[in-house]
Structure 1
Amino acid sequence: MPKVYKEDFAYPVEADRYRLVFSFPCPYAQRADIARRLLGLDNVVSLAVASPIKTSKVWDFSNDTGGKDPILDVEYVSELYKNTDPEYEGPFSVPALVDIKTKTVVNSESLDILRDFTTRFKPFHADNAPDLYPENLRPEIDRWIKKIIDDVLGGANRAGYTRSQEEFDQNAEAYFKVLADLDQHFAENQFLLGDQLTEADLVLYTPLIRHDLLYMPIYGLFHHSLRDYPNLWRYMKQLYQMPAFKAATNFREYQVGQYSGRTGRIFFRREVVPMLPDLSHWEK
């Protein structure tokens, strides 16, 4: 990691000083951007959107005019990491919270950025912003986040990257068991923690929004779509219809990022982006 990460919370919290580097295909970056929007920090922390296509230099700003981010004046996200520590060799990941003054990365861990937005940036929250990490619920929120990372996101990845049929069957069965358990949970709860929207819901939304479009065709997790779980489907649609979640969601960019560039060649040995399926059920 760059040298700056040796101290937690080393950077001062100020308005209009930081820029969140984001790309739609990355579920980890999506967590941070949803929180930024939900909490009203989009008026305090600006957004740099990298191209969805990973190249040999990973994330770039080729979608911006002139191929550079207009505020940070760089072509590649890697330049920001090199500004932070010239000896750093990667990963050059998103999200990255960048100090606009110095063009250096002050935080690149998605859960840390999410937690900073919900706690350290609280003086800049909008008046109607939800409390995503209330003190009385913090242990339970942390337990849910760990479970989601281990069993939902981790479960899908274990199934998708396994090399044997036996392991795939075991991992896929365990993944769908978790979805069934979540469906039962949402039969009696609006959110993961009753009627309180929290960080844990942001962390759960980001892998599940990719299930039908990516995990089913790419990881072979065809057994069930989200709509096969009525309570889980209601929960996901409820989140998707919130402006902060919808604005941070881009189905087309998910496909472009997964099927094109360096990632596309790894999975498919060709760069053909399939047609989007009918997604009108998300809007109804």
Structure 2
Amino acid sequence: MSGTPQDQPDGNSEYGRRPFKRSKSHFADRITADGRDGWPVEAGRYRLVVSRACPWASRALASRRLLGLEDALSLAVVDPLQDDRSWRFTLDPDGRDPVLGIRFLHEAYDKRESEYPGGVSVPAIVDIPSGQLVTNDFQQMTLDFATEWTALHREGAPDLYPEPLREELDEVMEGVFRDVNNGVYRAGFATTQYDYEQAYEDVFRRLDTLSSRLRDQRYLVGDTLTEADIRLFTTLVRFDAVYHGHFKCNRNKLTEDPVLWAYVRDLYQTPGIGDTVDFDHIKRHYYEVHTGVNPTQIVPAGPDLSGWLTPHGRESLGGRPFGDGTPPGPVPAGEEVPGGHRP
């Protein structure tokens, strides 16, 4: 969703002098095992459209990889830079998605609802036969991957939303979303000093709480990787590259918090998570698209990425990344992050 029109600070109605407020997903249909919303889980029927720059879309990328849904749910990756016509398929030959046959994601939105007035956001799932958008509900999408798409999970897929832990997971994820995932945006797009400082304080208060929580346990909830870790990771992996400077969340860098820096390196080095991260797309999107925040559009040369592959030492805390399951296999051909875009 990052960088979509509703997330732009320059000249849009949500900004003005009011605090940043994230728009709710307008298309909240769910793809379920029983098809109760009219969209049944079905291998090969849907296409997941993402930007590797976007933290919300990155959740879907990691979940899809970890659960082994690559063969069941095809992937389209948009250009990290979009224009006023929305996210573009300019990374594909002739600038057109080879499966959906469209040049801009708004075309799938238009097929679902003509003259839709809202922003065109990712992640988005499109019904291939009709070309219509099904959902852009980034909050529910990955929960459904974990619970509704189980018949299509790979053998050995982890349980990312274990039922006995859901109450605690929901509580932890709500705080992470409010103060960290969305908090950095509230700081970065603030239009008053007061709003900025309130968001800044929320971000670092929550990060301090999370750092304390993770000092003696490897994962946020339970002893395995869960949805909560994925949601926190997608913000932390962008923190020093983008949020520290671009969004003025600069009390300290992530690398200056020994616990969180080790934690995020542990996740980055876990198969199925770090192999979805594209630092080049992340930096170019934020610094070139958010012209209200960075009018020069100059993209920083740093930070140095070599530290992401250094030992993290979190194994000493125990925990089993995949529970009773196994790591995902190699990244499918054609879905690899290009060389030079990661450490």
TM-score range, shorter chain: over 0.9
Change (3 A) 1:3 1:223: closer
The aligned counterpart of 1:254 is: 282
| CA-to-aligned-CA distance 1:236-272 (integer Å, 9 cap, x gap) | 1111012211122111111111122xx2422222333
Give the distance between the partners of 2:118 and 2:196, measured in 1 at CA: 30
1:10-37 superposed Cα distances (whole Å, 9 cap, x missing partner)? 3010111111000011111111111000
Give the match's secondary structure for 1:266: coil
Gapped regions of structure 2 (runs ≥ 5): 1-25, 311-343
Instruction: Name 1:163's counterpart in structure 2.
Output: 191
Contact 2:27–2:137 (CA<8 Å) still a contact in 1? no
Which of 249, 259, 267 aligns to 1:239? It is 267
CA contact (8 A) 2:184 2:200 kept: yes
- Residue 139 of structure 2 aligns to a residue whose secondary structure is helix
Choose 169-178 or 29-38, whichever is displaced more. Answer: 169-178
Q: CA, structure 1 residues 245+2, in 2 after alignment: closer, same or farther (shift >3 Å)?
A: closer
Q: TM-score, normalised by structure 1?
A: 0.93
- TM-score of the aligned structures, taking structure 2 as reference length: 0.78
1:71 has 2:99 as partner: yes
User: 8 Å contact 1:19–1:48 — kept in the other structure?
Assistant: yes
Structure 1 residue 222 and structure 2 residue 262: aligned?
Answer: no
Q: Secondary structure at the match of 1:222?
A: coil
**AA of the residue aligned to 1:78:** H
- Asked if the contact 2:165–2:222 (Cα under 8 Å) also holds between the matched residues in 1, the reply is no
Q: 1:58 to 1:88 in 2, by over 3 A?
A: same
RMSD between aligned residues:
1.8
Cα offset, 1:182, TM superposition? 0.9
- Note if contact 1:4-1:84 (Cα within 8 Å) is conserved in structure 2: no
Alignment CA distance shift 1:198-1:3 (3 Å): closer
Name 1:279's counterpart in structure 2.
Answer: 305
Over 3 Å counting, the alpha-carbon distance change for 1:71 and 1:91 in structure 2 is: same
Provide structure 1 residue ranges, at least 5 long, that are not aligned to the other structure.
none
Quickly say closer, same or farther: Cα 1:84–1:130, change in 2 above 3 A. same
Residue of 61, 71, 85 corresponding to 1:33: 61
Deviation of the 1:124 alpha carbon? 0.8
Identity of aligned residues (%): 37
Letter in 2 for 1:36: R
Aligned mate of 1:265, from 291, 312, 320: 291
Distance 1:3 1:113, change over 3 A: closer
Which one-letter code corresponds to 1:126 in the other structure? R
Give 1:185's aligned residue: 213
Deviates more, 1:63-72 or 1:160-169: 160-169
SS of equivalent residue, structure 2 residue 187: helix
Task: State the Cα distance separating 1:112 from its structure 2 match.
Answer: 1.6
